[in-house]
Amino acid sequence: MTKLRRYHAAVWDEPVVMEMGRRGRRGIMFPAADQAVTAAVGCAETLIPEGMRRTMPPALPEMSEPDVLRHYLHLSQQTLGMMGISLFGTCTMKYNARLNEALAARPELAEIHPLQDEETLQGVLEIIHRFDLALRELSGMDQFVFQPAGGADAAYTHACVTRAWLASRGELGKRDEIITSLQAHPCNPATAATAGFKVITLPLEEDGYPSLDALKAAVSDRTAALMINNPDDMGIYNPHIKEWVRVVHEAGGLCFYDHANFNGVMSRLRARELGFDACMYMLHKTFGAPKGGGGPAVGAYGCSAELAPFLPKPVVTFDGKSYHLDNDRDDSIGKVREFLGNIPVVLKAYAWVRSLGAEGIREAADLSVLANNYMDHELLKLRGVSRSHPQIDAWRMEMTRFSLGKLFEDTGVSAMDVQNRMVDYGIDAFWLSHEPWIVPQPFTPEAGEMWSKEDLDTWIAVLGAVIEEAYADPDKVRSAPHNQAVHQIKGAPLEDPAHWAMTWRAYVRKRAKAQG
């Protein structure tokens, strides 16, 4: 039996940084302007246009460097304590190698400007091009771009590429429907609608995916594209996917593979070989770069040679000697984001791919599937836990959609209550999922390849302990967390724009108004 560790987050009576500091304190003293500069312009201040000069000092706390370091150390102790095990679910949280962070911080990347002449960007462009080639190997596609700022942005890129492709064929006014499924990631129907398409959503059948007959009934001469993820967030892989692609192609539409759940099938399939015209990868998920509060995102979008002319520009090219930024692309949809996208994330993902190699990537996929199915076996032993489509007696991929619906019926303790209580054990709790209409009180742990069996056992044991608490003393779980720096807050004010504030100035203004 796994022994649970005692845990309590550090608690500091720490003010916000804007309330700290004393007049005259400094963390760094900047030198006076060079004499040559002052001699040339009279004084350094005249280098800044008059309309851009401050009329008064900025409202910033004046602090010494030790004061700043101590402040943020205290904040980190209050938050990082619960990040011992983060099976964040539907996010494939991976270890973000410190080496990769150091590489991205090097001046060769951190200090460049995207509008530099391409001759001075050769190293960066080479990394982008090499990573493009790596993703071509994994997908079978002919070209990748890294402008999109995340998975939804990549899906939107495809919707825009589809629109441009249809326009080039004189079919834009006719083909105005995009097909997806109830279990597809919400970004697929959302971005299709944003790009001006009508959305047809296919329901799920008993085997966990829409039937082929339902797809055939949905396609027509108005079909623009199919946008789908496979496997889905329930870990179910549609074995008829090649037939799906054939049906859509015969109807004259394109097929887009949302590869957000690529982790369990890396090196096991290639999107192009399944017939897809385009796909996307989340570099901040599958490829070991930080996600969420840990860093920015990139949705790598790749497509066939037929769609490549419509890609966002510029596209990085290589002529055998030098790397170039190709802006001379008349059919391009333009930009979906400024410049080249989050290139530090591309560097980290490239380093991850190079460090694992083909064999390592294959092993990572195998381990993620193994870990998920081990958790699936163990979690179903817990009271009050069930999973989606229990009638399917087959291995799930790298995640499984579980339900605490029975626990909620028995105790009134919700999945969110359980989540709040798990952090009292030092666990960064599960993702609450985005399809509660399919599975009540859902949660979706996703071990990936990085966690040990001992880590998985600890996570399972914590969930089991919280469930037993819910049956014995539900109020204790509903009022959690108890061992964190911040206890449960009232949610109502967060819905009231008169109370919440995203900036210090807004906080000061609203606090003054509340105090009369």
Q: Is the pLDDT of residue 294 over 60?
A: no
Whole-number percent of the chain with pLDDT over 70: 94
Q: How confident is the model at residue 86 (pLDDT cuts 50, 70, 90)?
A: low
**CATH architecture, domain defined by 102-355:** 3-Layer(aba) Sandwich (3.40)
Q: What is the dihedral of CA 259, 262, 265, 268, to 10 degrees?
A: 60
Spatial separation of the C-alpha atoms in residues 479 and 470, rounded to whole Å: 11
Q: How confident is the model at residue 45 (pLDDT cuts 50, 70, 90)?
A: low
Reference 97, options 369, 225, 288; nearest CA is 288
CB 372 within 8 A of CB 446: yes
Name the token pair of 233.
């967030």
Higher pLDDT, 498 or 130: 130
- Tell me the pLDDT tens digit for each residue of 394-444: 889 988 999 999 999 999 999 999 999 998 998 877 777 666 778 899 998
| Angle 438-443-449 from CA coordinates, rounded to 5° | 120
Q: Where are the domains of the chain?
A: 102-355
Q: What count of other Cβ atoms lies within 10 Å of the Cβ of residue 491?
A: 7
Cα-flanking dihedrals φ and ψ of residue 297, to 5°?
A: -125, 160
- Tell me the pLDDT tens digit for each residue of 392-405: 888 899 889 999 99
> What pLDDT was estimated at residue 487?
87
> What pLDDT was estimated at residue 189?
94
Q: Is the pLDDT of residue 58 over 90?
A: no
Cis status, amide bond into 296, omega within 30 of 0: no
Give residue 21's identity as a one-letter amino acid code.
G
pTM over 0.85: yes
Q: Is the pLDDT of residue 270 over 90?
A: yes
Q: How confident is the model at residue 90 (pLDDT cuts 50, 70, 90)?
A: low
The DSSP H or E segment spanning 348 is: helix 343-379
Q: Is the pLDDT of residue 479 over 70?
A: yes
CB 279 within 8 A of CB 291: no
